[in-house]
Every structure is written in C-alpha cells, then in structure tokens.
Amino acid sequence: MNIYVCIKQVPDTEATILVKDGKSINETAIKWIVSPYDEYAIEEALKLKEKLPGSTVTAVCLGPERVHNALRTALAMGADRAVHVESSVALDSQNTALALAQVIRADKEFGVIFMGKQAIDDDASQLHILLAEELAIPAATHVMAFAFDGGKVRVEREIDEGAREVIEMAVPCVVAAAKGLNTPRYASMMGIMKAKKIEIKKITLDSIGISETQNKVHLLKLSTPAEKPQGRVIRGEPAAAVQELVRLLREEAKVL
C-alpha cells in the first residue's frame, strides 16, 4: 500500500512563544519539533507498512526550508520518501488541504493517509477532514485505536465521558491520530544515517496552483493573553489551611 503521513513542524511544547510584530512569532530562540500528534501518525503508518510487505510510507510536509528537519525525522523513524511542499507564506486550512490533496492525488494508488488530529501551533483542528473531503474519501478524527483487516480500516474514536465510537472505512481514507494511539519509536542510528541519503522531493506552491491570495481566513492579530495576578499561599497547619481554603472558595471566589 502507498501509505501517506502528513506532518507539520511546530515550536517545542515547552517553548515560550513571543509575538513579534503583532502577526507573527519571534522564531529566534525556538526549537522546532514534529507536532506531537503527527508523531503518533508516523508511528501508525510505519506499523501498517510492517504489516503489509511491499508498502511504502511517504511523509509530506508544507512549510519553509526548516521543515526539512521534520521530514528527516520521519525518514529516520522509517519513512521511505519525503515530499516538501515549499511555502514561506501561511495558508489557511482550506488552502493547505488543497495543496496536500494535489500532492497525494498525483499518486493514483494512495492508501491510508495518517496525520495528527491537530497541529499544536494554530490548533485549527480541521485539516485532516478537509483533506479527506477534497479527495472524496472517508475520515476519522481523534483516533485512539487503528486496525486494518480484510481491506477495511476499523478505528476507535474517543468521544465524551470516556466512550468510544467504532468506525469502519474503506481504503483510501484519512486517519487523524490522538494521544494514546501508540508510542512513537525513536529513530535508530542506522535510520538516521539512511535518512541522510534519501533525497527530499520539492514541490512549489506555484506548480500546484496554490497561492495565499486564495486564503479566506486571515490572521489580523496575535496577542499574549492577560496574565492572572499572582494568588496567595495559605499558611498554617494542614487542617487549618484546608479549612481556610474552603472558606475562601465559598465566600471570596464563590465557586462552590
């Protein structure tokens, strides 16, 4: 099967994010990582490849030059091919879905497409389904369990109150990973060496007819939310402190 995994490069989860000019972030001190949910997607793609001999995993990433590192990470983990859709501009979700669809559609025999349920930068939480709709194929999001059997995909999706929906889909389809799906592997030294030798295929937005002028959702402003004023620590013996805390929650904070 020609398995795809769409990934995004984002700032590390521990990074402090500072606004630069009201519309972008200060990138100087940022450590970039593969978005954590996309790591689960890579892992599941590799597991499926291991189950289906002769399969390949192609990682696709849209972004500026620096995203090569994200693609190298996917290759080092075990992906076979990497495609870099070169874009130094921000595309809205719909436009990104169009771009990814163009790349994947060029492969007439694409199978399961894995990706994270959201990227932890813009947290737009819609690209996976927009991509599936653009390709006219089924999609499941927030996937906690994945199985491929008898030509069919069966997944479990977490919903409210710990319940899970069991979903069946034909292939090709899009599977959007959530935490709990698997434990992503670390790249082996051999994997890292191998990854260095694989050529990353480059595709320009121009060549697939995508431009940011087609965006319909425009970022007006980025801002830092107001910080809470520092609270107070309640001193005293445990029993007295607890009593005072509950009194404050009831009388001052009025949350009980």
Nearer to other proteins, 159 or 193 (CB): 159
Which one, 41 or 195, has the nearer CB to other proteins?
A: 41
Contact status, residue 201 vs residue 81, Cβ threshold 8 Å: yes
**Taking the complex as a whole, how short is the minimal distance between the CB of residue 139 and other proteins, in angstroms?**
6
189/256 with CB nearer other proteins: 256
CA dist., res. 4 & res. 85, Å (int): 14
- Angle, helices 68-77 vs 189-197, to 10°: value is 130
Q: Minimum CB separation from other proteins for residue 163, in Å?
A: 5
| Nearest distance in Å: CB 10, other proteins | 8
Structure tokens at 134: 């653009």
The bridge status of strand 173-177 relative to strand 139-149 is parallel
Helices 36-51, 68-77: axis angle to 10 degrees equals 40
Would you say 190 or 233 has its CB closer to other proteins? 233
**Least CB distance from residue 201 to other proteins, whole Å?**
27
**Residue closer to other proteins (CB basis): 197 or 218:** 218
Q: Looking at beta carbons only, is 33 or 67 nearer to other proteins?
A: 33
DSSP H stretches of helix in 85-145? 93-105, 127-135
* Pair 78, 57: CB distance under 8 Å: yes
Q: Whole-number minimum distance, CB 16 to other proteins, in Å?
A: 7
Do 174 and 128 touch, CB atoms closer than 8 A? yes
Which one, 178 or 195, has the nearer CB to other proteins? Answer: 178
Question: Residues 202, 86: contact at Cβ < 8 Å?
Answer: yes
Partnered with residue 177 across adjacent β-strands are 116, 143
* Tokens standing for residue 228: 């809470």
The CB-of-7 to other proteins minimum distance in angstroms stands at 15
Q: Report the alpha-carbon distance of residue 115 to residue 35 in Å, rounded.
A: 10
* Shortest distance (Å) from residue 11 CB to other proteins: 7
